[in-house]
Amino acid sequence: MIRADLHIHTVLSPCGDLEMTPLNIVTAAKNRGLDLIGITDHNSTLNALEICRVGKKYGLNVLCGAEITTKEEVHVLAFAEPERIPELQSFLEENIIKIPNNPEIFGYQLAVTEDEEVTAQIDYLLINSIDKSLEDVGEFVRSLGGIFIPAHIDKHSNSIYSQLGFMPFELSPDAVELSATGSAEELRGKDKSLRKYNFIRSSDAHYPQDIGKVSTLLDAEDFTFESIRKSIISKASPPQI
């Protein structure tokens, strides 16, 4: 079984701590006994490939992706294979509604290397929404052969249920995500349509000490993207939360 935390922010997210640099994230994840992490900055992938590289160097597997804010203000996790990440990044840059960031209010948005060299500072606010619907985002992620997971669906803000009140029938996500304290049984009791979906649980870490506080066990054959995707959607051996 693979122990995974698939919702981690870096210093690129304005709400991410300045200590959430590639090496610090990889080190914290390994210290927590994680085998796999997902890098999911708000509406950007600019740190994902570097953390993937650093992870390989130190023996940690990394899924590259983003936490996308749809036009309905719903947060979703989107992952793609490394060679498709430039397409995901272009999609986000082309569609985000660009409002200037004020670092003193929202925080800095930095792309950095393993050695903490700043390679980019994003001047528009990444926590803003993109001009694409939930269904549009799901369709685009599927076109990449990616993994599409509505985030923290039990939360009272920026979740499918807080924003829409229901799970759209045509959405067909690969799984749905719970926050650290969410109950799958309670949610399935409220909405029977959720019984057909697998659940994962993630930390949504913004600080190094939160990485791996909760995790998901995946029954994957190996760490290839396709094996991870199959383990997330598996009905025979669904993720354990």
User: CA-CA distance, 93 to 87, in Å (whole number)?
Assistant: 10
What are the boundaries of each domain within the chain? 2-233
Report the chain's terminal Cα–Cα distance, integer Å.
12
Specify whether the CB–CB gap between 39 and 77 falls below 8 A: no
Q: pTM for the complete prediction?
A: 0.96
Q: How far is CA 6 from the centre of its chain?
A: 6
**Burial of 115 (C-beta count, 10 Å sphere; 0-12/13-18/19+):** exposed
pLDDT band at 135 (very low <50, low <70, confident <90, very high): very high
Tokens found for residue 37: 């992490």
* pLDDT confidence of residue 95: 98
The phi-psi region of residue 231 (left if phi > 0; otherwise alpha if psi is between -120 and 50; otherwise beta) is alpha
The proportion of the chain whose per-residue pLDDT surpasses 90, expressed as a percent, equals 98
Q: What is the CATH number of domain 2-233?
A: 3.20.20.140
Write the pLDDT tens digit of every residue in 189-230.
999 999 999 999 999 999 999 999 999 999 999 999 999 999
Condensed to tens digits (0 to 9), the pLDDT of residues 5-53 reads: 999 999 999 998 999 999 999 999 999 999 999 999 999 999 999 999 9
Contacts of 58 by beta carbon, 8 Å cutoff, 6+ apart: 26, 27, 30
Convert the pLDDT of each residue in 165-194 to its tens digit.
999 988 999 999 999 999 999 999 999 999
Q: How far apart are CA 22 and CA 226, in angstroms?
A: 24
pLDDT at 166: 92
Distance of alpha carbon 237 from alpha carbon 92, whole angstroms: 33
